[in-house]
Chain A
Amino acid sequence: MTPWIGPFLPLAALIWPLLLGALTAMPPLRPVAVRLLPLAPVPALWLALAGGQGVTAAPDLLLGVTLELDDARRLLLGMTAALWLVAALAAQPMTGRPHTAIFSGFWCLVLAGNLGVFLALDVVTFYVSFAAVSLASWFLIVHERTEKALHAGRVYIVIALAGEVALLVGLIIGADAAQSMAVGEIRAALGAPGSSAVGIALLVLGFGIKAGLVPLHVWLPLAHPAAPVPGSAVLSGAIVKAGLFGLVLFVPEGALGPVLMPLGLVGAFGAALWGLTQANPKAVLAYSTISQMGLMIMLVGAGGAARETVPFFALHHGLAKGALFLLVGVMMAASGRGRRLLCLALAAAVSASVAGLPLTGGALAKAAVKQGLADWSALALSLSSVATSLILIWFLARLWQMQGRDEALWGARFALPAALGVLAVTGPWLLWSAWSGHGPDYLFKADTLIDALWPVAIALPPAAAVLRWRLPQLPPGDLLLILGAWRGRAVRIPAPLSLRADADGALRAARRNSARLEGILIRWRLTGVLIPLLVLLMFALLP
């Protein structure tokens, strides 16, 4: 048996975090487990930067693991690795708090899964990675073990498990249709005319849950705020992208477009507006995430060039959203007016980028995807920026409301989101030409600028209004509130079918009767007559 074929780095990028995770379980390391976390994504980051040619195969692992790195995968891998690295650094203050060993262990597991999703070429590896992401991240959510966190965890695990099942069944259908385990062939087979729509539907269900596709998003606003800040950052920045990438990988070009696009738009606008009813800035960010993911899902649905450029969009959103979440943490650690203003400023800058203010990374991302869109959907995209600006302004307001107390190493803490922010705003510039096919000059054309600017401008008056006249403040979990809070219910089942291992009644009856018959037979009077009778009977029967 050969351990692996092809470049080793991709395999190492997956195994390394797992090893670290295992290490964190070692008693001596448990207290300082968090210190190991920044090391985990390093190989992956290196891989993303160095790039890798060719397929890595480990024929004996699982059902034969195969990994590869193309441009989209590389982009997302890099974004994920970077985000996880920064988040890990941001998590350092947790050292010494209770349960950090478990937290760290599963942190590594989720990371490995998250990277695996972007590297996997075969469906089994993909499924394994995806399962690791969605189920292990439960531990990130419930880490605080507050009642809120546990409730969020309950909701999450139920929905996530349902998603896993849908995914498994969908993938099985795909694998059977394709007679192969390769992701590409499965997508092709599912796209082929006459293939079962059930498979695609199940896949969309499974990935949509993770990607926060409306109406499967209900867990997200509960879970993301519940996790500790670094957790929220990776959840909202990187993990949701796993679901998105799943859609990109498996849902055939054009299939379900009419379903995905409207749902995406509903998410994009609905979530943004609902976010205005949230008090907790993390919840607001969670809703903004749903809204952004809605956009990306719409793009996937739209297909064509838009679909191709989704990773570019995802890159920006991941970094930016990570930065914003981390900023919430930094804000909590700041009391001085200066520091709080600094946070606000940075948050404003990143938000502006997300909203797509001209010349920001966000604007580039939107410009890149727009050119693949039909007019009406392009318009929708622009309009969504209005909603985005609205909710982000609301976020800034909520952020400013937060009161924190000073903590050590504030500078270092602030540096992390700052780095991410810078990356988010400037990163897209580096990749622009590669992903849009236009030169930088395209960005400075007037209509591009206008196109990016007017939505934000339109957003200002309503934003002011919202700040002036508050919307009713609601707890997170929109649809759940409508459906009524989720409660565990014991399953009621009729009594079991099983034989009774007891026959005493029958025994008593039998005893009585047998005694009676025996009493009759034992009388010679009777038997003595029986004998000749039997002789006659026998005689009659014989020739």
Chain B
Amino acid sequence: MTGLLPIFILLTSLVPAAITFFLRQESYRLRNALNLGGAVVKGALIVAMLVAVAGGASFETAIPLAPGLVLLLRIDALALLFVSLSATLWLLTTIYAISYLGEKPEQSRFFGFFSLCVFATTGIALSGSLISFFIFFELLTLSTWPLVAHKQDAASLRAARGYLLYALPCSTILLVAIVWLESATGPILFTDPPDLSGVDPASLRVIFALFIVGVGMKAAIIPLHGWLPAAMVAPAPVSALLHAVAVVKAGAFGVIRVIYDVFGIERVAELGVGTPLAALASFTIIWGSLRALQQTEIKKRLAYSTVSQVSYIILGVALASPFAVIGGLAHLVHQGLMKITLFFCAGIYDERAGVRSIEGLDGLGRRMPWTSTCFSIGALGMIGLPPIAGFVSKIYLGIGGLQAEAPWVLAVLGASTLLNAAYFVPLLYRLWFREIAPDAEADERAPALVGPAVAAALAAVLAGMLAASDISPLGWATLISERDYLE
């Protein structure tokens, strides 16, 4: 049984996907039941697994594909963190998406790929070998494409095309990196970091760079970020998926895996590749914020803010000092919670008030108090305002930067905080202090849309308020870093 648990967890999203594809547009109830059911069951299974792991159990399932090709599923603390994050957010997003799509066409296709996407993400989280990671990573790329292109209009198709234009070359590069490394070391399992002493440092550096390019594209590291803002033409649930649940997170997760489970901190340190990566991440943080400042479309602005925020995670893991790691890992969750809140709200503004551009936000605070409150919470959290989750990550990253003898990190954090404020505060100002246009149509009579947003916002606040408790993301991150990385 225990060995099969990971497989069951995967099935909870694969089976709904498989069935959903063949459902007729009209069979709303069955489809919704399937997806919600899958999400709930998955949640339950993960809880079960949490309990078991807390009890010291360990899960591992290997499916041999070919000589040197083993599909290995296993659970470690990091995997648990990621998988439970994505599972939770998946549930919220599903509820949201069902209400968001309402009667819109092509729902079977949408939800099919939606579940497939989550299947891939779960797989990424659970994969215990480099090759299985890659397989699910690619599956994610493929299953996201139809979602980005969902509206099938020119803009969506262009965005989807742009997405592949980034994704496929980078995945090829990733494959080259994997193959190159494994041809020297044999199949690489995350359980025991491979012995790289046989490979000469120069080519190791190149391989590391290739890896970073390969996974960094999904994490939208500049200059591989172009697809993300373009992809915001997709429906709001998809944006939530891209920015919080699956894709971007998978990229960041990949970076973590590469640094800690493929190369190992010591190796990264002696190769001297950590600092350049941290510098790149810092540049991304700043540049993303600057770009966000220029956007007049809400979702575009949010997208660029993701570009900048996700690099916090990478910055943390690249610095590789205890606090930095904890901060980065915690931000994996924090950013997810806050950003999904923001995108939910952006979607609600679009749906219920027809507002896409920043000007449209004027005075919506009065008409849509719940939505606007959640939006404000998300935004302030992004700025790093206590007690919302964001500031915890910032503090840890800052201290971590000092521990890693990289005081410039503080400057980066400070600058990015100011920039975040610069591009979020005006939105809040419009929301709460401008007067709404008299003829504006706006309400939030859509509990299934507002509910998830509220839940996510609440979670973001609690994650900050109760940061010190063991069950908080921070506590978890601390556990991971102590157990796996900083022994």
Contact = CB atoms under 8 A, between A and B. Distances in A.
Contact of A493 (B293, B383, B466): B293
B414 A166 contact: yes
A344 interface: no
A498 B468 contact: no
B403 interface: yes
B425 interface: yes
Contact of B386 (A128, A165, A173): A128
A347 to B, nearest CB: 34
A498 B226 contact: yes
B222 interface: yes
Contacts of A124: 386, 395
Given A172-B398, A499-B166, A501-B161, A165 B414 contact: yes
A189 to B, nearest CB: 12
Contacts of A164: 385, 417
Nearest to B161: A501
A461 interface: no
A61 B468 contact: yes
B468 A63 contact: yes
B382 interface: no
B399 A175 contact: yes
Interface string B224-236: 0110001000000
A491 B386 CA distance: 27
B192 interface: no
A534 interface: no
A64 B165 contact: no
B294 interface: yes
A61 B467 CA distance: 6
B225 A168 contact: no
Nearest to A123: B395
Interface in A26-62: 59-62
A131 interface: yes
B56 interface: no
A160 B407 CA distance: 23
B425 to A, nearest CB: 7
Contact of B403 (A176, A499, A501): A176
Contacts of A148: none
A150 B398 contact: no
A168 B384 CA distance: 10
A127 interface: yes
A127 B384 CA distance: 12
B195 to A, nearest CB: 35
B465 interface: yes
Given A1-B470, A62-B468, A501 B223 contact: no
Contacts of B433: 142, 145, 150
B473 to A, nearest CB: 13
Do most interface residues of chain A lie in helix, strand or loop, or is the interface mixed? helix
A435 B225 CA distance: 62
B466 A61 contact: yes
Interface string B139-153: 000000000000000
A463 interface: no
B358 interface: no
Contact of B468 (A60, A132, A176, A493): A60
A147 B357 CA distance: 25
A332 interface: no
Contact of B225 (A60, A61, A498): A498
Given A161-B418, A165-B418, A491-B294, A172 B395 contact: yes
Interface in B203-228: 222-223, 225-226
A175 B418 CA distance: 21
A424 B158 CA distance: 70
Given A128-B387, A162-B418, A497 B425 contact: no
Interface size class of A (residues with CB under 8 A): 35 or more
Nearest to A102: B432
Contacts of B387: 62, 128
A262 B315 CA distance: 41
Nearest to A64: B468
Contacts of B290: 491, 493
Contacts of A59: 468-469
Contacts of B432: 102
A392 interface: no
Contacts of B469: 1, 59-60
Nearest to B415: A165
A60 B463 CA distance: 11
Contacts of A499: 162, 165-166, 223, 226
Interface string B420-437: 011001000000110000
B293 to A, nearest CB: 5
B404 to A, nearest CB: 11
Interface in A132-186: 132, 135, 142, 145, 150, 157, 161-162, 164-166, 168-169, 171-173, 175-176
B333 to A, nearest CB: 16
Interface in A337-368: none
A496 interface: yes
B328 to A, nearest CB: 15
Interface string A487-518: 00011010011110100000000000000000
Contacts of A176: 398-399, 402-403
A61 B398 contact: no
A172 B398 CA distance: 6
Contacts of A63: 392, 395, 467-468, 474
B291 interface: yes
A171 B222 CA distance: 30
Interface in B373-392: 383-387, 391-392
Nearest to B394: A168
B464 interface: yes
Interface in A98-144: 102, 124, 127-128, 131-132, 135, 142
B413 interface: yes
B166 A62 contact: no
A124 B466 CA distance: 12
Contacts of B467: 62-63
B291 A131 contact: no
Contacts of A102: 432
Nearest to B225: A498
A19 to B, nearest CB: 14
A124 B387 CA distance: 10
A175 B394 CA distance: 13
Given A61-B465, A491-B293, A169 B410 contact: yes
Nearest to A1: B469
Contacts of A135: 385
A62 B465 contact: yes
Contact of B414 (A127, A169, A493): A169
Give 4 nearest A-B pairs by CB, closest first: A498-B226, A172-B398, A501-B162, A60-B469
Given A127-B386, A172-B399, 6 more contacts: A1-B470, A63-B474, A161-B383, A168-B391, A168-B394, A499-B223
30 contacts: A1-B469, A59-B468, A59-B469, A62-B386, A62-B468, A63-B395, A102-B432, A128-B386, A131-B385, A145-B433, A166-B414, A168-B398, A169-B398, A169-B411, A169-B413, A172-B395, A173-B402, A175-B399, A176-B402, A198-B407, A490-B293, A491-B422, A493-B294, A496-B226, A496-B291, A498-B223, A498-B225, A499-B166, A499-B223, A501-B226
